[in-house]
Structure 1
């Protein structure tokens, strides 16, 4: 029975698939790319048109925040299009409240963007997001001269943030092993700083493909970024408006690829392929290692079922697919060990504990480890 005050989703009846599946699936746009593109467009000079936009709570939070920063936004939900008149790297609205809701990307990205605000702005969030860490972002902002008042609960939202004038290219040092979102937030605002920014990582980055995604989106909007050996250098110069097409969400696609692997059928998803900027397309390589049949093309990926076997795999670069892989592992011959994902305990919930708990409720052998989990099919 749920504890008093716990909010539960409405129950959903799930009917087993009768036989093999054979489908071409249309997947909504990438949440991660959408939020990066929205912020770049909002800070750009000129009008940008974004196609394939995902509309969800996280992206609605970003839309609300960029509007509150002064960008003019026109939304066509039916066509998944957003048109943004950017601010040219300035904060034009000094008063409208900022609410990140439950969105980690919105919280980390908007907090960093307040380096551009000459006046203190209060950034709020949902109770759930208030429990998630913001310390690395706040420490970096302070190192850059910003004022951060997080006195209600240090290292967490809500916080009031105001920027500071720069006199030289600054350097900040960030940990890479907590969340790539802290790094991406600083990267995204950097082109709009008077002297750019140099970021040095004190530890190896987790979810490194998300940093590559951030840089790819930035470059599409005209930013100049170089990276080598855990050092990122962003030149000043701002962003240029552009027309930008957002890929289907590779994390969401993983569910359908997993269904094909489990059910012995076949699923094709268009819009993802060899040129994808999303690291989570690498999930299909993990499925291939388990015995699924994978076909990659320049603009589509097809997965077909095979005889699945357990594997030992490091998912630190594609941690958002860990729960999906856990479901696949249940149907494999032999145990599966997932490593390198200890940092996902600090997401909206402890994802490692959650997946192990729910699998055990289904009678599956599952145990937590320090940095992941092990699953032994019944």
Structure 2
């Protein structure tokens, strides 16, 4: 079944082919986009400057840094149009940040950004007293925001199952609110590690909190200056785990990743043991090695790590391994509907993903991966989504060659991705 999704051919596609199935090399991943974007907002809320070391070079972070430094914090008239482009994290974090920043702001983005819902966050901020209007379609950007002190109440509830970024956006401004914030999370809390990351980074800047059951309490208090170091991106590591799993042999060092990481996607190190990939934690990073070709897992829950779901789906397809996934609901409101995008692109290889309630069953019984002698490259649409491009690239170890749409889309989180692939023998042709 083909699902309707918007695709644009930029005539900038690349074809990639693996010159070896033994993947060896040392890779320096970009700084975590998730940590970097939080650090930028916290620094903007802090009364004293501090240094952010190893700040991500991802497009989203560059955009947020630029907007804060050149249009928001330095604005002499406190009236500006703030265009985040395709940066979803920036849209959500700035919605809350601008609500407490004096001025008149029009917060907007790309056409796709204007299709991504933000009503839950706006409703929560309005309940606190924020002056926000929808400038276009109800429930979606662009937003007209008049920043001010939020004094209406200090206790609100928000559905925790939709987006952890909404919650993080509220938590980061909480210490600056006149009465602090009591935040009650309803429903099943999704992507909990990202909320924990936010609170841990706030703690590094002196912000205390309590979290009892589903209630987080943050009193009014000041951020204190303290230099922050941004760990390399565990989400970016997932594509190297995929290469290891799909290779014949692998010995890959990823510099800088830590054993005790704030990033929820670090769970991939344990998860990939089920795919025959061993992780050794070193003093200065991790080493991945392929130790088995046997897959020992048939059910994966992505509720707390949705950003690696596409990668794992492609790994399963590449290994012709049937698997059931859950925790994918948040993928439908990302850069694209990632579930539908996976269904479309894996369908080109005869692999299906069928929904059954909250479960999604990946079926490889009709797969052509590793069985086709067709010399023509398989074309992969990316739907303006960096993770679609990077999740599918390792599949070139199992098919003769791939043609991938709009390779520059990886700049959103991993600008030098294609250069790093080239270092280990996966070349553009």
TM superposition score category, shorter chain reference: 0.7 to 0.9
Contact kept in structure 1, 2:98 and 2:145, CA below 8 Å: yes
- The more displaced of 248-257 and 213-222 is 213-222
CA–CA separation in structure 1 for the residues paired with 2:180 and 2:341: 41
Is the contact between residue 198 and residue 233 of structure 1 (CA under 8 Å) also seen in structure 2? yes
- Secondary structure of 1:8's match? coil
Q: Structure 1's 265 and 215: CA in aligned 2 closer, same or farther, altered over 3 A?
A: same
Shift of 1:241: 2.1
**What is the alpha-carbon distance in structure 1 between the residues aligned to residue 154 and residue 200 of structure 2?**
22
Task: State the Cα distance separating 1:217 from its structure 2 match.
Answer: 1.5
- TM-superposed deviation, 1:369: 4.3
Q: Does 1:179 align with 2:197?
A: no
What residue in structure 2 maps to residue 245 of structure 1? 229
How far apart are the structure 2 equivalents of 1:318 and 1:161? 31
Is 1:376 the counterpart of 2:363? The answer is: yes
Alignment of 1:320-359 (within 5 A): 320-332=307-319, 334-359=321-346
- Equivalent position of 2:259 in the other structure: 274
Over the residues paired in the alignment, what is the CA RMSD in angstroms?
2.4
1:294 aligns to what? 279
- 1:46 aligned partner: 48
User: Which of 96, 106, 115 is residue 122 of structure 1 equivalent to?
Assistant: 106
Contact 1:27-1:248 within 8 A present in 2 as well? yes
The answer on whether the counterparts of 1:225 and 1:234 sit within 8 Å (CA) in structure 2 is: yes
**Paired residue for 2:347, among 360, 363, 367?**
360
**In structure 1, what is the Cα distance between the partners aligned to 2:157 and 2:50?**
32
Q: Which has the higher contact order (CA 8 A, sep 6+)?
A: 2
In structure 2, which of residues 127, 131, 141 is the aligned counterpart of residue 143 of structure 1?
127
Q: Does the CA contact (< 8 Å) of 1:50 and 1:245 recur in 2?
A: yes
Deviation per CA, 1:212-268, whole angstroms, max 9, x where unpaired? 111111111221222121211112122122211111111111101111122131222
Q: Distance between the aligned counterparts of 1:297 and 1:228, measured in 2?
A: 35
Gapped regions of structure 2 (runs ≥ 5): 368-429
Residue 26 in structure 1 maps to residue 42 in structure 2: no
User: Partners in 1 of 2:7 and 2:351 — Cα distance?
Assistant: 29
- Which of the residues 261, 284, 289 maps onto 2:269? 284
TM-score (norm 2): 0.78
Distance of aligned partners of 1:217 and 1:355 in 2 relative to their CA distance in 1, 3 Å threshold: same
What is the number of residues matched between the two proteins? 359
Looking at structure 1, the residues matched to 358 and 67 of structure 2 have their Cα atoms a distance apart, in angstroms, of: 34
Matches within 5 A, 1:136-285: 136-167=120-151, 170-263=154-247, 264-285=249-270
Contact 2:128 2:151 in 1 (8 A): no
CA–CA distance in structure 2, aligned partners of residues 57 and 199 of structure 1: 31
Q: Any idea what SS the aligned residue of 2:44 has?
A: helix
Residue 300 (structure 2) pairs with residue 313 (structure 1): yes
1:354 Cα shift? Answer: 0.7
Distance change in 2, residues 1:346/1:339 (3 Å): same
